[in-house]
């Protein structure tokens, strides 16, 4: 009998209370693990769905505390599926806890998926962005800043930043930290001043690992960021995400009753399918993956091309996630049971 561990540890409700009400018996097992009075976090919900498949597939499913992995428990498993990922440990608990998470997964005898190598490839954004650039995917022009290098030679790094800004004639920029999720830690400069940038770098050098410097694209916040979700390489759903004065707004494609243009979605899906194929061939097969697209970069050839579709602003790949945070509010159809079944089958 195969034993499968699933990392858990998040706390936010994953939405769609009717789904959990209709499947109440499956989720009763969580009452002994967490306080379920405020809803069910996505990682615990997927664990419960997988637990319900034990008899069908003759497996044993156990939860692993992703915030404090125990090597002995990990070694008792044949496979470990990472839903709760290292980013959360770094954001909420610090570098030591992040290192403990990574090192435990490296030491365990269990098969880990996504592999540690794949998780690190995605966690360190500069690695996968260089990969995307090499593969000729559209991405934002990005400069990578090592805070260790900055500490050793501030003048050299500041000069390189200034040259990057001047060379590209950027009027507005942003800094994005590695190992942080969503918009946490992003610093925007609409009026560029090198003295202010120096003060910023001096203050964050102990808080983050490294930084990404990018131009601030006004349309990025004005138009929908398109997030596409893939299960075992197959497209499952997409949703739009936009920052508002009061937080964030979420929508679906027009064909699903939302506001996003289906033609734009289809163009993103075409790119997504190509990227999934490349990742599976060059890296490893993935149970789940989310590819996010932002707007807009200018198509350099649009004036030369008579095709009207080419005259539109182009969406670019903004993020890749292999352990994404999930919410049932993002789609019309519940899908946690589908993830759970793929996890079990992947391990057999």
* pLDDT per position as a tens digit, 145-179: 999 999 999 999 999 999 999 999 999 999 998 87
- Can you tell me the distance from the alpha carbon of 21 to that of 96, in angstroms, rounded to the nearest whole number? 39
Query: How many percent of the chain have pLDDT more than 90?
Result: 78
pLDDT, residue 204, reads: 82
pLDDT, residue 312, reads: 57
pLDDT, residue 209, reads: 78
Is the pLDDT score of 102 beyond 90? yes
Structural domains present in the chain: 2-114+332-347 (3.40.50), 143-216 (3.30.1490), 219-322 (3.30.470)
How distant, in Å, are the alpha carbons of 135, 198, 209, 228 from that of 88? 29, 28, 14, 21
Is the pLDDT score of 309 beyond 50? no
- The per-residue pLDDT for range 239-273, each reduced to its tens digit, is 998 887 777 888 999 999 999 999 999 999 999 99
Is the pLDDT score of 307 beyond 50? no
Residues 6+ apart with CB under 8 A from 294: 140, 217, 220, 225, 226, 315, 316, 318
Cα-flanking dihedrals φ and ψ of residue 174, to 5°?
-145, 150
- The per-residue pLDDT for range 122-132, each reduced to its tens digit, is 999 989 999 99
Is the pLDDT score of 281 beyond 70? yes
Nearest to 237 by CA among 220, 262, 211, 215: 262
Q: Find the mean pLDDT for residues 330-341.
A: 94
Is the pLDDT score of 235 beyond 70? yes
Q: Find the mean pLDDT for residues 328-346.
A: 94
Cα-flanking dihedrals φ and ψ of residue 258, to 5°?
-105, -155
Enter the pTM of the model: 0.92
**Residue 236 pLDDT class (50, 70, 90 cuts):** very high
Could you tell me the two tokens for 198?
Answer: 């120096």
Beta strands per DSSP E along the chain = 2-8, 59-65, 79-81, 111-113, 143-146, 173-177, 187-189, 210-215, 225-231, 234-244, 247-251, 288-297, 314-321
Q: Find the mean pLDDT for residues 223-240.
A: 96
Is the pLDDT score of 301 beyond 90? no
- The per-residue pLDDT for range 64-99, each reduced to its tens digit, is 999 999 999 999 999 999 999 988 898 888 889 999
pLDDT, residue 205, reads: 63
- The per-residue pLDDT for range 39-68, each reduced to its tens digit, is 999 999 999 999 999 999 999 999 999 999
Q: Find the mean pLDDT for residues 21-48.
A: 95
pLDDT, residue 311, reads: 42
Is the pLDDT score of 120 beyond 60? yes
Q: Find the mean pLDDT for residues 222-234.
A: 95
pLDDT, residue 138, reads: 95
Could you tell me the two tokens for 44?
Answer: 């615990």
- Can you tell me the distance from the alpha carbon of 251 to that of 167, in angstroms, rounded to the nearest whole number? 37
**Residue 298 pLDDT class (50, 70, 90 cuts):** low
């Amino acid at each position: 009998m195969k034993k499968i561990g699933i990392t858990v540890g998040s706390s936010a409700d994953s939405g769609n209370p009717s789904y959990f009400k209709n499947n109440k018996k499956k989720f009763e097992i969580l009452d002994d693990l967490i306080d379920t009075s405020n809803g069910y976090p996505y990682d615990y919900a997927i664990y419960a769905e997988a637990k319900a498949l034990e008899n069908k597939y003759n497996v044993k499913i156990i939860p692993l505390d992703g915030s404090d992995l125990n090597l002995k428990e990990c070694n008792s498993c044949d496979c470990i599926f990472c839903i709760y990922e290292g980013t959360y440990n770094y954001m909420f608990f610090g570098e030591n806890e992040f290192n403990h998470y990574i090192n435990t997964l490296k030491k365990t005898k269990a098969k880990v998926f996504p592999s540690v190598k794949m998780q690190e490839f995605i966690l360190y954004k500069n690695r996968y962005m260089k990969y995307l650039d090499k593969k000729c995917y559209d991405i934002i022009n990005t400069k990578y800043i090592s805070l260790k290098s900055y500490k050793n030679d501030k003048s050299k790094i500041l000069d390189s930043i200034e040259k990057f800004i001047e060379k590209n004639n950027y009027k507005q920029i942003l800094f994005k930290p590695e190992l942080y999720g969503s918009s946490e830690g992003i610093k925007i400069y609409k009026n560029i001043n090198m003295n202010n940038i120096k003060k910023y770098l001096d203050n964050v050098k102990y808080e983050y690992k490294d930084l990404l410097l990018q131009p601030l694209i006004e349309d990025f916040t004005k138009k929908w960021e398109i997030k596409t979700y893939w299960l075992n390489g197959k497209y499952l759903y997409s949703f739009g995400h936009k920052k508002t004065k009061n937080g964030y707004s979420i929508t679906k494609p027009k064909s699903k009753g939302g506001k996003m243009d289906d033609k734009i979605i289809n163009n993103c899906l075409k790119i997504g399918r190509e990227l999934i194929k490349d990742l599976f061939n060059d890296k490893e097969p993935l149970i789940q993956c989310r590819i996010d697209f932002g707007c807009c970069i200018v198509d350099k050839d649009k004036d030369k091309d008579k095709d009207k579709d080419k005259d539109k602003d182009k969406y670019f790949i903004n993020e890749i996630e292999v352990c994404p945070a999930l919410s049932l509010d993002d789609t019309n159809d519940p899908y946690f049971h589908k993830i759970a079944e793929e996890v079990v089958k992947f391990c057999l």
